[in-house]
Structure 1
Amino acid sequence: MEARNTPLVLDGGLATLLESYGRDLGGGLWSARLLAEDPDVIRRAHRDYFEAGADVAIAAGYQASVPAFTARGYGRAEAERLVVRSVELALAERDAFGSGLVAAGVGPYGASLADGSEYTGDYGLDEDGLYRWHEERWRLLVGAGADLVACETIPSQVEARALARLVRETPGVRAWVSFSCRDGEHLNDGTPMREAVAELAPLYAAGGLVAVGANCTAPRFVPSLVRTVAEAGVPAVAYPNSGERWDAAARRWTGTSEPQEFGAAARGWWEAGAALVGGCCRTGPEHVRSVRAHLASAAP
């Protein structure tokens, strides 16, 4: 096999780590509530991931939006400040650590609703409506100085189109689009991954997108998804869940996750074409260490 550069290592689940510190993430803001209530603990999480071997910290913007904050009693100016703070905290910890990149976290519209629709894309909004909703937060986050923009857990092609418009309209931005997928071939809304990647490929060629891929998805689906992206001539990003499964009825995670197995799998994702590799829900620093170690052992 032709030698390839090892990928950038992304961090793991931010909410997972914050919960392991004993923080309560209940309520519609999830981890974003700590931007106001306990910003230092978010910095601690970023530091722990950098120390574990992450090259990229994804800022705590997944559920942070002006409408989400104002709906919970924050003034508009304060809401805007908190959205920007998500990037500022990650940048400060990166600078203190001495190396690394920061990606602004852009979650799907459904994350602001906190009703589970983020996993289906069934919002009742068309592309123009999604574009208008994302635009305000996008401008705030891009203006905050992040190195990258992580458009993550995107469940539908229509939402990806809205975000792609923002990428095209923003000179110099470097972003990735990462889908949540129901299996090894389809986004959660049923769109074939091959079709979604083909639509985004010109934006990669134009320089705005740096990768397309999957996150918040079962690890067993990642090899097929990554190969589909790579076959389109686009670098892939892969940061799935740990492999445990969410029991919605019992509201708890089931199964087990072994960091060593996760790291070994990550090496396979790289071999399949992933240029950025990390973890999402239920992964932590130990998973990132394992990913780093397994990729280091594969370095040419």
Structure 2
Amino acid sequence: MEIQGCREDRTSSLMVDFVKDCGGIAIIDGGLATELEANGADLNDPLWSAKCLFNSPHLIQKVHLDYLEAGANILITSSYQATIQGFESRGFSKDQSEGLLRKSVEVACEARRIFQEKHVKASKTPHQVLIAASIGSYGAYLADGSEYSGDYGEAIDLEALKDFHRERFLILADSGADLIAFETIPNKLECQAYAELLKENDIKIPAWFAFNSKDGVHVVSGDSFVECISIAESCKQVVAVGINCTPPRFIHGLLMTIRKVTTKPILIYPNSDETYDPDVKEWVESTGVSDDDFVSYVTKWHEAGASLIGGCCRTTPNTIRAIYKAFN
């Protein structure tokens, strides 16, 4: 399958075909926010990495390119914490807010174009690249730590979550991305909201569902991991399911659970096993997992059935490069 533009294939077989063409393992990129900070961005803001969409999009493009050069096959856009509501609270108009959402995909697509042209000019064949438009949870918009607990209170029900996500989803689905990445899903209710949004709209864009866990058994809200995966499994537009932003030590057990419930490709992109304190908005000091240790995990995850592997918070292009070397 040749991937040149941003919307070459939207069928249900997208991810199966893509992984096959990548040699049986597709590599997802790594952490975005910490790399933006490493390149000089100040992300002490409720919009987090989405802040760079209006004040330093060149830094986002640079980080995307760093991951592509490291061997990533899938770029996740900078829209995780980008919402119309969040941009409007900063004084942007509705049209400007929608434009910033589209810009997150445009920047990633441009990075892919630059990467591919560079390799073609050097008489090299660039590896396959997909663009995944990120949609973070309602808790990510709140920026109060509830994305790590899944506790939104009684005021938020299924319809309210669908209403919150609908417009952003429709804009990103029509932005030129290859698929939607619903990331760091913290509870069953939001999982159900995403599934219903996919089913009720005519836009046939594929999606993946990635959940996070802090005990290796449940999603962070305490809801059943199996029930959440089952919701994703029942949705035809979901082309891959798995885990992100979860400590590596929990991944193998969760992977074994996923295999019992789904027939879809399984994706794994954990964090570096460090802890984020949402109250002070800082990472708690920790040794984390070295790139060598991370790679020792990923080879076992691939053997156990994961076919899309990358990194989340605090992983770097060096992490992705190590994964690429392990599989190539």
> Aligning the two structures, in what range does the TM-score lie when normalised by the shorter sequence?
over 0.9
Structure 1 consecutive aligned stretches of length 4 or more whose deviation exceeds 6 Å:
none
User: SS at 1:268's partner residue?
Assistant: helix
Cα separation, 1, equivalents of 2:313 and 2:89:
26
Partner of 2:187: 156
Say which of 221, 224, 243 aligns to 2:273. 243
Partner of 1:147: 178
Cα separation, 2, equivalents of 1:50 and 1:222:
25
Partner of 2:293: 261
Give CA-to-partner distance per residue, 1:222-251, whole Å, 9 cap, x none. 111112112222321110101223356774
Report deviation, 1:171: 4.0
Partner of 1:134: 165
Cα separation, 2, equivalents of 1:77 and 1:60:
18
2:232 is the counterpart of 1:200: yes
Cα separation, 1, equivalents of 2:49 and 2:102:
15
Partner of 1:103: 132
Q: What is the number of residues matched between the two proteins?
A: 290
Does the 8 Å CA contact 1:28/1:114 hold for their aligned counterparts? yes
Say which of 62, 77, 80 aligns to 1:44. 62
Cα separation, 1, equivalents of 2:75 and 2:279:
32
Give CA-to-partner distance per residue, 1:255-279, whole Å, 9 cap, x none. 2331111122111111121121100
2:36 is the counterpart of 1:18: yes
Tell me the percent identity.
41
- What pairs with 1:1-300 in structure 2 (closer than 5 Å)? 6-98=24-116, 99-124=128-153, 125-168=156-199, 169-203=201-235, 206=236, 208-232=237-261, 233-246=263-276, 251-253=282-284, 254-296=286-328
Cα separation, 1, equivalents of 2:92 and 2:175:
20
Q: CA RMSD in A?
A: 1.6
Does the 8 Å CA contact 1:263/1:292 hold for their aligned counterparts? no
Report deviation, 1:185: 1.4
Residue 157 of structure 2 aligns with an amino acid whose one-letter code is D
Cα separation, 2, equivalents of 1:58 and 1:164:
20
Does the 8 Å CA contact 2:150/2:221 hold for their aligned counterparts? yes
Residue 236 of structure 1 aligns with an amino acid whose one-letter code is I
Report deviation, 1:201: 1.3
Structure 2-normalised TM-score? Answer: 0.85
Cα separation, 2, equivalents of 1:112 and 1:246:
16
Cα separation, 1, equivalents of 2:315 and 2:187:
24
Give CA-to-partner distance per residue, 1:129-185, whole Å, 9 cap, x none. 101110000011011010111000110010010001122234421110001112221
Cα separation, 1, equivalents of 2:299 and 2:77:
25
